[in-house]
Amino acid sequence: MSVAVSCLCLSVAWAQESPLGEAIEDFEYWQDLCQLHISAAEDKAAEEEEKEEYAKALMACEQAIALEPEDANIWVLHSSILLNTQKYPESISSANRALLFDPEHSLAITYQCVAYSALKQTETALDHCNQALRINGNWGNENPALAWLYRGVILAQEEEYGRALVAYERTLLLEPEYSFALARKCDAHFALQQASLALESCNAALGVNQDWGEASPAMVWTTIGKTHTQLELYNEAIAAYDQALNLDPMSAITWVAQGQVLAQIEQTEESLVSFVQAVGIKADFADALLGQCMALNRLAIDAEVKDQGKLYEQSLAACEAALAGDSDWGENSPANAWHERSIALTGTGKYDEALASINRAVGLEPRYAEAYNQRSIVYWYLKDYGWALEANQQALAIDATYDHGWFTRGLIFRAQEQYLQALEAYNRGLGLNPWNDWAWTNRSLVLWELGDYEEAIVSAEEALNLNDDSVQAWYNRGAAQSALKDYRGAIESYDEVLDRDEKYAGALTGRGVARFHLGEHEDAMMDLQMALALNPEDELAKETLEALSLEGQGEGDK
């Protein structure tokens, strides 16, 4: 049932005339005409046509009221029109008129329940639905199903999903093919994390396809998508959201839900498209703007250095728009936006502002492990390692299974040259999440510092198995191979680096050193000179060039 608001103006009631020009004063005629227009409105797909039919129904109903103002049923019919046109206070008033003449008119009381529910007067609404069911009096052409249904809707609004399910079951005993009731039952099972039962109810709602009321097939497909997400069936979830968006492409909520799944499976660019679509429909939608901010941050982290600044600036703008938005955060909160804002500010080098932003996040959600970890990262950038370690310890105290917390701990210890502690931290984190190529890469650096070059190669290769384009992992592999005097292998690794980044000075130096040790002096000199052109402060390149020069002089003396 859809719901809404109009004014009762009997003094200007529309007058239908007979062919002879005489006003028709037949109560049943007007009552039947009213009902006819209501039925026509329910069959109209176009919103304007539906409004037109309800307007005609209202005028016919008021003609009937003018003829028999003490007929309770006509007042109930009048109340239903006002309810369906979202004129809730007027609907309640009309139902009250009906109850003056029939105090046990349960349908009138039920319409009041529905109207109070739409007005967010939950307690009053529930009282009226309970009263209608307790009296169980005059239901007109309806039955108690509507009261049971809205009793469930109200209980679900109060997050009493178990009790709501009981109400929906009572509804379906009376109306087994009531799609709206099945859809709400699906929602309740989803809220209770009863995924298989949710899917069963949603599929039943789609199968019977009868009266959708305030629901629609698109909304049901959205719930199916959320349920598949709950089951970690992400491809099925995306397919369900596609079905929903085919039916209702203007649903910002569905675009956001799809974007969140795409972000979860690291299809970041695709997730950004979904969030942008949602913002295009609803410009101040906080949850959609937050999703956009998060996606831009992830893209910036993975982007080339030259593109990072622009992406972080866009992310910052999206997060600030979210914080100024409509406060509809879905399952997120403002703390998430302050957190992502801090990441964007960190990316643009505004560390003091980033610290202030993450402090807001922690202030809003003191048990937010990711926020404490971000605070730790900001302190790491500020080279304040004591505070960084304290924030990291707070993150891990909240959630010891938070893998990124352990990876950040490894960064802090490595920056302090406490390599054994850093290695332990990376090992703990990788035990929780062995699919993080960045952590394997950093672990290989720590192992190189500890002189365990063979294990450093293993760690770098683990990173490359996950991300073959990791320039740093290829570089680490080359450095460890060179330390083990596998100069030919080192050259191959440095070649991989330079194929991906031809201006990587460290790789040119590393390859030049390896070629020097292999006696390939001309190629070595070329690499080292190119490295110094990019980084004139490269001491290893200078030293190796000097050694090349001395060897050249020695050969000349001979």
pLDDT tens digits, one per residue of 272-281: 999 999 999 9
Positive or negative, the CA dihedral 344, 350, 355, 360 is: negative
Tokens standing for residue 450: 């500890």
Bigger pLDDT: 305 or 512?
512
pLDDT for 48: 86
Q: In this structure, are residues 23 and 17 in contact, taking their beta carbons and an 8 Å threshold?
A: yes
Q: In this structure, are residues 189 and 165 in contact, taking their beta carbons and an 8 Å threshold?
A: yes
Tokens standing for residue 183: 């859809």
The 8-class DSSP code of residue 15 comes to: -
How many percent of the chain have pLDDT more than 70?
A: 94
How many percent of the chain have pLDDT more than 90?
A: 87
pLDDT band at 20 (very low <50, low <70, confident <90, very high): very low
Q: In this structure, are residues 549 and 521 in contact, taking their beta carbons and an 8 Å threshold?
A: no
**Residue 290, beta-bridge partner list:** none
Q: Is pLDDT above 90 for 557?
A: no
Q: Is pLDDT above 90 for 87?
A: yes
Average pLDDT over the chain, rounded to an integer: 92
Q: Is pLDDT above 70 for 3?
A: no
Q: Which amino acid appears at position 75 of this protein?
A: W
Q: Is pLDDT above 80 for 38?
A: yes
Whole-number Cα distances in Å, 254 to 17, 131, 242, 358, 558: 49, 36, 9, 29, 80
**What's the rounded mean pLDDT across residues 509-513?**
96
pLDDT tens digits, one per residue of 313-333: 999 999 999 999 999 999 999
Backbone angles phi, psi at 304, to 5 degrees: -65, 150
Q: Which of 276, 300, 286 is nearest to 329 (CA)?
A: 286
Q: Is pLDDT above 60 for 558?
A: no
Distance CA 91, CA 108 (A): 9
Q: Which residues neighbour 398 within 8 Å (Cβ) at sequence distance 6 or greater? A: 367, 368, 369, 372
pLDDT tens digits, one per residue of 121-140: 999 999 999 999 999 999 98
Which string of DSSP letters, residue by residue, matches 155-188?
HHHTT-HHHHHHHHHHHHHH-TT-HHHHHHHHHH
Distance CA 73, CA 473 (A): 78
pLDDT for 209: 64
pLDDT for 42: 81
Tokens standing for residue 210: 């009868």
pLDDT tens digits, one per residue of 521-533: 999 999 999 999 9
pLDDT tens digits, one per residue of 198-223: 999 999 999 986 777 777 899 999 99
**What's the rounded mean pLDDT across residues 341-359?**
97
Q: Is pLDDT above 70 for 21?
A: no
**What's the rounded mean pLDDT across residues 4-19?**
36
pLDDT for 554: 55
Q: Which of 108, 112, 94, 173 is nearest to 137 (CA)?
A: 108
Q: Which of 173, 169, 210 is nearest to 186 (CA)?
A: 169
Of 13-17, 294-298, 326-330, 532-536, give the lowest mean pLDDT range: 13-17
Q: In this structure, are residues 53 and 10 in contact, taking their beta carbons and an 8 Å threshold?
A: no
Q: Which of 338, 298, 284, 341 is nearest to 317 (CA)?
A: 341
pLDDT for 7: 32
Q: What pTM, to 2 d.p., does this model score?
A: 0.81
**Structure-token match 């492409």, residue found:** 249
Tokens standing for residue 293: 């901010």
Q: Is pLDDT above 50 for 497?
A: yes
Distance CA 546, CA 529 (A): 11
**What's the rounded mean pLDDT across residues 485-495?**
97
DSSP 3-state of 23:
strand
pLDDT band at 441 (very low <50, low <70, confident <90, very high): very high
**What's the rounded mean pLDDT across residues 56-78?**
95
**What's the rounded mean pLDDT across residues 96-105?**
96
Distance CA 148, CA 99 (A): 20
pLDDT band at 168 (very low <50, low <70, confident <90, very high): very high
pLDDT for 389: 97
**Structure-token match 């298989």, residue found:** 196
Tokens standing for residue 13: 């009631």
